[in-house]
Structure 1
Amino acid sequence: MREPAPNPVHRALTGIRQGARRVDTATPASRDRALDALRALAILGVVLGHWLVTALVVDGDTLHTASPLGSMPWLAPVSWVFQTLAVFFLVGGHVATRGHASARARGTTYPQWLYGRLSRLFRPVAALLGLWAVAAAALLVSGAPLETVHTLVKLALSPLWFLVVFAALTAATPLVARLNPMWPLAVVLHVDLWRFGLGGAPDWLGWVNVAAGWLVPYTLGAAWARGELDGRRAGWVLFAGGAAATAGLVAWAGYPASMVGVPGAAVSNLDPPTLAAVTFGLAQCGLALLLRDRLRRAMGRPLAWAAVALVNLSAMTIFLWHQTALMATTATALPTGRRSGLHTLPDDLTWVAARLAWLPVFALALTVCWTAFRSFEQGPRRRAGRPSRLVHRHARPADVKASRHA
């Protein structure tokens, strides 16, 4: 008697488990999976944070941005969870420092190393710029208000500031890899004293903190790569010291409690970075160091590791297109009427509940963007019979050599 055909869901789950085991088996034992986990958490934290606090409000025939943090400031702790950029710079400093040292040992020149680091970082940008150049022109030709076009383009391209700063710090790795993080922290402190304490500093002075502020976690990552932050003591010092300093700055120095920008607010902790944002980043870096052993153990599970590897493989695509996914959802739903959580003012808990319900739709729209544009980051899809890039990217050298000759 013929056995019944396997359930399609069961087949899919079996395939996912088998693929996860292949990725897990092909990953070198020397790879620090905690770093990949931290990078994935940092990227996903930024994406979820933006989706939760960015509202596109329909006002007549125009759109403008708003934030629930403006009308409900008691939601500021949400920004403490999802403002995770310091962790990304921490991991970036660690990886770039070790990568540059390894490249020098192999005889790779600095320009070759830098090109390899930045090419994958910026390839996906071309697709984003091209699509939004066409979209902006189409909107203007169709008669869309200039204010609306400006709002949409600014929101879509807002992730690019991060890439520019990260690329500049990456290029400066040979110069800053051994810099004590206290030096850029001192620069941030003095800039803020001039801006807020003395009150006579020109506006442009605050932008010095864009480099100095993110240089703090970046150089911490370099120190971690040199083995200077091993042990839980360093993690506790950074976490406790950074948290206490941030609490003091918010409670007694007048810094905003929100760690992200709020439209209409007099001061933003991120635009440009303030001392409070930097000390908050120190606390996050300390927490990352404290969690690394647990993350390494968690990444021993094939399914968890395969998910993290997949996010890392598409990190820039996810980061660059997440705001476009939000706007695409907003625009698609607009003909059906003004929807709470999408088009209305974010001024009550009803909006918050509705926005949470929209998150899966944003994720679906981002998946569509990922499917369409991931090749700009990952390269062309593999030919039939060739090993997956997910496996290839995490394979041992011997496995990679074998796959190239398969």
Structure 2
Amino acid sequence: MRDLTGTTVRTGTTALTGLRTAIHGIERATPVERDRAVDALRALAILGVVLGHWLVTALVADGGALHTASPLRHMPWLTPISWVFQTLSVFFLVGGHVATKSYASAQARGTTYGQWLGARMGRLLRPVAAVLALWAVATACLLVSGADLGTVHTLVKLALSPLWFLVVFAGLTAATPLLTRLNPLWPLAVVLHVDVIRFGFGGPASLGWVNLAAGWLVPYALGAAWTRGELERPRAGWVLLGGGAVATAVLVTWAGYPASMVGIPGAAVSNLNPPTLAAVTFGLAQCGLALLLREPLRRGMRRPALWAATAFANLSAMTIFLWHQTSLMAVTALGLLAGRLPGLHTNPDSLVWVAARVAWLPVFVCALTLCWCAFSWHERGPRRPTGRPSRVVRVHRVHRGSGPATPEAAPRA
């Protein structure tokens, strides 16, 4: 028993020592001049979307079929959850800042537009192939097994719903050279006019899809303004936060826009599908808050453990984003083997459901971890065929890229 206990203690101590070494390795490999607040904001944006989906997306088992529901429809007083976890504007803000900064650096190095775009698109789109392949096989198996068509449609729609974001983000990234000097007020004006025509004059609902590009271009253009140095003063953050919050409150209170910043099944109007003026003004408030948080985040990221966790989240951002819905559905499907479980298969219409759903979150995390273990290599890309890069090369990789410092970038003994 003493030998077994001693072995266990030594193993635990070795693992802890290895973790500490990795954490401090990432810290040493990160250039001093790196703005860690950018990485922290990107990680918070991705994790906010994931937690938001896990909290407000319910798959209800009813008569052998699954259909989507939302606790926000049955309990509207939970609407502030959507204000906290709908963080896509922050992601587009950071994306615009990083892309314009990266493109300027590429131009200075003499890199062509095609080379720059290919490198950025590779990291963005490589993980998509794995998602599409798995769900093509899963859909075929479900149809062959005679699964309910409504259930299949629900599952596939949820699994592939993150792809709309990537299409828009990829389009804006490709257009970055044209957007480096764009004033965010121009796309904001487009969104305003589209909504006036749609809701004020009874225009076609299809016109709203113009806002899919224009709406997310607003925070992306703000990111470009950040790169130009126009948002460095705290006043800019306060103006965006205050102006966006007041405008959103006016639109919700007097113009009839939904208070929820995420879509609710069965609702007549969604603020996200496509984006409305209220979603854009709310995004302006979020961007203002993000800008105000930069300095506190920079101080927080001086802690090696927090920085290592942030670097890991950024390294796996697309894998986490693309597979979080699949993780939710995998847990839901496996749970059906044990019957109709509260918080997983029941109607989201009570505080009991909310408490049960919160209790399921660690299980969703475990399922997402398994997906990460299986598919994260798609995001990291192919390994070098020969040799191990020197410490200088690894540190240079962290410095030159606009992505986060990564565990691979840490120096090794």
Shorter-chain TM band: over 0.9
Aligned counterpart, 1:230: 232
Matched, 1:84 2:87: yes
C-alpha separation in 1, matches of 2:332 and 2:277: 35
Other-structure match for 1:295: 297
Q: Which residue number in structure 2 is paired with residue 110 of structure 1?
A: 113
Paired letter, 2:79 = A
- State the AA in 1 paired with 2:304: P
User: Given residue 235 of structure 1, which amino acid in structure 2 is its aligned partner?
Assistant: G
Question: Which residue is 2:153 aligned to?
Answer: 150
Q: For 1:138-287, list aligned pairs within 5 A.
A: 138-199=141-202, 201-287=203-289
Question: Does the CA-based 8 Å contact 1:261-1:268 persist in structure 2?
Answer: yes
Q: Give the secondary-structure state (helix, strand or coil) at the position aligned to 1:64.
A: strand
1:346 aligned to 345, 348, 373, which one? 348
The Cα shift of 1:386 comes to: 4.2
C-alpha deviation, 1:168, in angstroms? 0.3
Aligned to 1:178, the other structure's residue is in SS state: coil
Report the count of equivalent residues. 401
Q: Which structure 2 residues correspond to residues 389-400 of structure 1 after superposition, within 5 A?
A: 395-396=398-399
- The Cα shift of 1:213 comes to 0.3
Cα pair 1:32 1:296 within 8 Å, conserved: yes
Cα RMSD (Å) = 2.5
Q: Distance in 2 between matches of 1:179 and 1:150?
A: 39
Contact 1:192 1:275 in 2 (8 A): yes
Instruction: Pick the aligned partner of 2:380 from 374, 378, 381.
Output: 378
The residue type equivalent to 2:30 in the other structure is: T
Deviation track 1:367-400 (CA, whole Å, cap 9, x = no partner) reads: 00000000100124689994799x7686457x99
Stretches of structure 1 lacking an aligned partner (at least 5 in a row) = none
- Structure 1: how far apart are the matches of 2:248 and 2:14? 50
Is the 1:382–1:388 Cα contact (8 Å) retained in structure 2?
A: no
The answer for unaligned runs of 5 or more in structure 2 is none
Alpha carbons of structure 1 residues 143 and 403: separation in structure 2 relative to 1, 3 Å? closer
> Relative to structure 1, is the Cα distance of residues 369 and 277 closer, same or farther in structure 2, using a 3 angstrom cutoff?
same
Secondary structure at the residue paired with 2:293? helix
Residue of structure 2 in register with 1:19 after alignment? 22
TM-score, normalization by structure 2: 0.92
The yes-or-no answer on 1:356 pairing with 2:355 is no
Q: Which amino acid aligns with 2:243?
A: G
Which of 47, 50, 65 is the aligned partner of 2:50? 47
Q: Deviations over 1:33-89 (max 9, x none)?
A: 100000000000000000000000111121110000011111000000000000000
- Give secondary structure in 2 for the equivalent of 1:282: helix
Q: TM-score, normalised by structure 1?
A: 0.94
Q: State yes or no: 1:122 paired with 2:106.
A: no
Give the distance between the partners of 1:381 and 1:344, measured in 2 at CA. 44
Aligned partner of residue 374 in structure 1, secondary structure: helix
| Amino acid aligned to 2:82 | S
Separation (CA, whole Å) in 2 of partners of 1:403 and 1:77: 40
> How high is the sequence identity, in percent, across the aligned residues?
72
Give, as a single letter, the amino acid of the residue that structure 2 aligns with 1:292: R
The CA deviation at 1:11 is 3.2
Name 1:57's counterpart in structure 2.
Answer: 60
**Structure 2 CA distance for partners of 1:161 and 1:15, relative to 1, 3 Å:** same
1:132, 1:385 → 2: CA distance?
36
| 1:328 matched residue in structure 2 | 330
- Given that 1:136 and 1:153 are in contact with CA atoms closer than 8 Å, whether structure 2 keeps it comes out as yes
Partner of residue 140, structure 2: 137
In 2, Cα distance between the equivalents of 1:75 and 1:63?
Answer: 23
Following the alignment from structure 1 to structure 2, what is the Cα–Cα distance between the partners of residues 111 and 295? 34
The equivalences for 1:29-40 within 5 A come to 29-40=32-43
Give deviations 1:94-116, integer Å, cap 9, x for gaps. Answer: 00001111111111111111111
1:301-320 equivalences under 5 Å are 301-320=303-322
Contact residue 271 and residue 278 of structure 2 kept, 8 A = yes
**AA partner of residue 172 (structure 1):** A
Q: What displacement does 1:403 show?
A: 9.8
| Whole-Å separation in 2 of the counterparts to 1:92 and 1:395 | 17
